[in-house]
Amino acid sequence: MGIVLFRELAPFMSGMLGASTIYVMVRGQMKYLTGKKNMGRGTAAILILLEAILCFLIPISVAVWLLVGELNNINLNPASYLSGIQHFNELVQQKTGYNVLSTENIMSAASYLPKIGQILLDSVSSFVINSLVLVFVLYFMLIGGAQMEKYLYSLLPFDEGNKKNVIHSIKMMVTSNAIGIPLLAIIQGAIATIGYVIFGTPSPILFGFLTCFATIIPLIGTSLIWFPLAVYLALTGDWVSAIGLAAYALLIISNIDNLIRFMLQKKLADTHPLVTVFGVIIGLTLFGFWGVIFGPLLISVFILCIDIFKREYLDDKRTIITPDYYEDDKTLNL
């Protein structure tokens, strides 16, 4: 029954995981409002919901405002786009001998357009539905938070000490990723935007905004944005700016990424870098956007469970061998 229910609820998993993430972040506020301020649980839950919605709407509104500003500056004359595309194709063909606008390439690209449109449509509809699910689930999690936590705590198959370790690890990991990932994206996007302005890339604010989202992509990350821009500058003949942008990205943008990411992880949760990288890869596949938080959490809890098993069932059964046991063995008696 659980497998069937999970399969049917899988499309709404992002909303439920998002509600769980926000709940971990605001449960302290809920206790403060209901405990110290004697506010009703329903009223406190609505206030926290409004806070959560505003925290999402304000960044989204700023992003939309930036994008609209960039789109207003775009020349809507189709002839200019065609001439620009043709010019870019000529540059590539001169440098590499490869014709980007060949009939075969155009037919291949055209075959992907319906699929891309369907993916975008599905993504938008999924985002809207899961946003509603997030608000709905979060409200009831806040209303019944104490009973829910007590029940889930009783279900954990560990002793009291290990239960506390698991709960603490989950809280630290969720908090670390929920704060660290957006903060990293904003900082790295701002630093990248400065570089785009310095080296004269087209639409620096727009590409800086896209760089913010590229930070969540494992391994490739921001190079998905700055590398094509450097190639474009090189193809247009501006080799100084192309080399400068590439050096700036490799020395500053990439290093800031690693530095801030691992500093935040070490500050909020002692997470190994490999756990973060592979956790994000697995999480994005399993959970979508929220996988950047729950992917590393999944690996961390798995490792924690292995460590609990080791301490409970292996360590206490091992025979401890002292160095005296090997007193006649010159190789082992170090």
The model's pLDDT over 300-310, given as tens digits with 9 standing for 90+, comes to 778 878 888 88
- Give the pLDDT band (50/70/90) at residue 47: very high
Amino acid at 244: G
- At 257, the pLDDT band (50, 70, 90 cuts) reads low
Between 253 and 267, residue with greater pLDDT: 253
Question: What pLDDT shows up at residue 321?
Answer: 45
Q: Dig out the tokens for 331 from the structure.
A: 């190789």
pLDDT at 319: 47
- pLDDT over 80 at 23, yes or no: yes
Q: 52 versus 93: which is more confidently predicted?
A: 52
The 10 Å CB-count burial string (b at 16+, else e) for 270-308 is ebbeebbeebbebbbeebbbbbbbbbbbbbbeeebeeeb
Amino acid making up residue 285: T
Q: Would you place residue 1 in the very low, low, confident or very high pLDDT band (cuts 50, 70, 90)?
A: very high
Q: Provide the pLDDT for residue 262.
A: 65
Mean pLDDT of 21-28: 87
| Statement: residue 93 has pLDDT above 60 | yes
pLDDT greater than 60 at residue 82: no
3-state secondary structure of 221: coil
Rounded CA separation 100/261 (Å): 37
This prediction has a pTM of: 0.68
Residue type, 225: I
pLDDT over 60 (residue 227): yes
Report how far apart the first and last C-alpha atoms of the chain are (Å, whole number).
57
Q: What does DSSP assign to residue 313?
A: I
Regarding predicted confidence, which is higher, 331 or 37?
37
Query: Does residue 280 contact residue 265 with C-beta atoms inside 8 Å?
Result: no
Q: What is the mean pLDDT of residues 245-271?
A: 73
Under DSSP, the state recorded for 315 is G
pLDDT of residue 210: 82
Q: What is the DSSP letter of 234?
A: H
Residue 332 in this model has a pLDDT that exceeds 60? no
Q: pLDDT value at position 164?
A: 83
Q: Does 183 or 46 have the greater pLDDT score?
A: 46
* Type of residue numbered 145: G
What pLDDT was estimated at residue 4? 93
Measured CA to CA, the distance from residue 303 to residue 227 in angstroms comes to 36
| Residue 202, SS3 per DSSP | coil
Between 109-113, 187-191, 221-225, the lowest mean confidence (pLDDT) is in 109-113
What residue has token string 């959560």? 52
What's the mean pLDDT when you consider all of the chain?
A: 76
- Mean pLDDT over residues 266-286, rounded? 72
Q: pLDDT grade, residue 21 (50/70/90)? A: confident
Helices 13-31 and 160-198 pack at an angle, to 10 degrees, of 110
SS3 128: helix
